Amino acid sequence: MIRSYSLRIASGGLLTALLLSACTPADPRAETSKALTDGVLLPTYSQWAEADRRLAASAIAYCADNQTTEEAREAFVHAQTAWAGLQPLLIGPMGEGNLAWQVQFWPDKKNLVARQVTALLNTKPELTQADLDGASVVVQGLSAYEYILFDKSIDLGDAAAKQRYCPLLTAIGEHQQQLAAGVLQQWQDKDGVADQLRRFPNERYAEPSEAIAELLRVQVTALDGLKKKLGAPLGRQTKGHPQPYQAEGWRSDTTLANITSAIKGAESLWLGANEDGLRRLLSAEQADLAKRIDAAYAELLQQLAGMNQPFAELLGNDAGRGELDALYKRIDSLHRLHQLELARALGVQIGFNAHDGD
């Protein structure tokens, strides 16, 4: 009888606990972190890995004369813009170590890409995958790939030139494919990055507010990086003297496309896939801030959509530089909205980032 009574007490206690648990409101920061993981982060990392898989396949097809130079260039641009869109989402392995340098070497202030590609092929004319994997990050990524496909000093219409550069193209394609696939796997693994952003506490985040803080920090860092990528060729660090060869993607004329992709990547964290991004964490009293950030993204993307001239042409005349300067100011405003006002509203300490001191 006593045992039966104890069981009833225990069962009642368990039921009460379950009912209380069901009534406890979910932590909005935990919900936002999970929603962004499933709706934005994982899909974007998957798209990046797929773009690099296609890049590797393109290199093989091109070097077997089964693809035109124009088709090979399109595969590069697709991989480049996929990478640009990922940069506001560099949380986890891509935000650690030097993995990002393996994808793209920028800024290249001393034309190291061209010099090191030439030196590598001079010393390794029969280049193997192992040779590239053990080489400098300068020649492992998209910057070297772009140099081979787009630089005017290389005539890939010449069979001998194509034969010289193709081993490096295919090796870079494979290196990028393996790198992206490995990073995606680290996201998808049990207890990997995605799981750490879905369930708390874990070894990376003690509570969901830490995950939200890191998401905002990488977004702020990416927006600050965009200011550098536009400011450098504009000459903001060289007393107003334009530096066209400091533009990201100057050989392939992907500078503005890269900026657009990066802004859209940042906006995806702000909005979420289903209105479940960082924006939803603002209260009704913070509605004005939300509207100003909405407007900043919309105006910036509208200006980018209307810029139809090549970046180098815009940089080459006063009117074009005026447009680019206006674009810089919009990016700066968006960056400050995130770094100062959104961070304050969400109670996040931003601190230093990878671009401080540049």
Q: Which has the higher per-residue pLDDT, 5 or 174?
A: 174
For residues 62 and 163, is the Cβ–Cβ distance under 8 A?
Answer: no
pLDDT at res. 240: 81
> How confident is the prediction for the chain on average, in pLDDT?
92
Which of 228, 230, 221, 248 is closest to 354 using CA atoms? 221
What mean pLDDT do residues 318-337 have?
97
Q: Which has the higher per-residue pLDDT, 145 or 354?
A: 145
Q: Would you say residue 81 has pLDDT above 80? A: yes
pLDDT at res. 279: 98
pLDDT at res. 26: 85
pLDDT at res. 324: 97
174: left (phi over 0), alpha (psi -120 to 50) or beta: alpha
pLDDT at res. 97: 77
Reported as a single tens digit per residue, the pLDDT across 258-296 is: 999 999 999 999 999 999 999 999 999 999 999 999 999
pLDDT at res. 155: 97
User: Which range, of 1-15, 173-187, 200-214, 341-355, averages the lowest pLDDT?
Assistant: 1-15
Instruction: Map tokens 């899909």 to a residue.
Output: 43
HSE, CB side, 13 Å, CA atoms: give it for residue 341: 15
User: Which range, of 12-16, 69-73, 230-234, averages the lowest pLDDT?
Assistant: 12-16
For CA atoms 319, 321, 323, 329, the dihedral sign is: negative
pLDDT at res. 21: 40
Q: Would you say residue 5 has pLDDT above 50? A: no
Reported as a single tens digit per residue, the pLDDT across 234-260 is: 999 888 899 999 999 999 999 999 999
pLDDT at res. 25: 61
Q: What is the largest CA-CA distance in the chain?
A: 95
pLDDT at res. 166: 98
Q: What are the CA-CA distances from residue 72 to residues 14, 61, 156, 234 (Å)?
A: 63, 9, 11, 30
Which of 16, 10, 9, 85 is closest to 45 using CA atoms? 85
Question: Given pLDDT bands bounded at 50, 70 and 90, which one contains residue 358?
Answer: very low
pLDDT at res. 352: 56
Reported as a single tens digit per residue, the pLDDT across 28-67 is: 999 999 999 999 999 999 999 999 999 999 999 999 999 9
Token pair of 9 as six digits: 């007490």
Domains and CATH numbers, the chain: 28-346 (1.20.1420.20)
For residues 254 and 80, is the Cβ–Cβ distance under 8 A?
Answer: yes
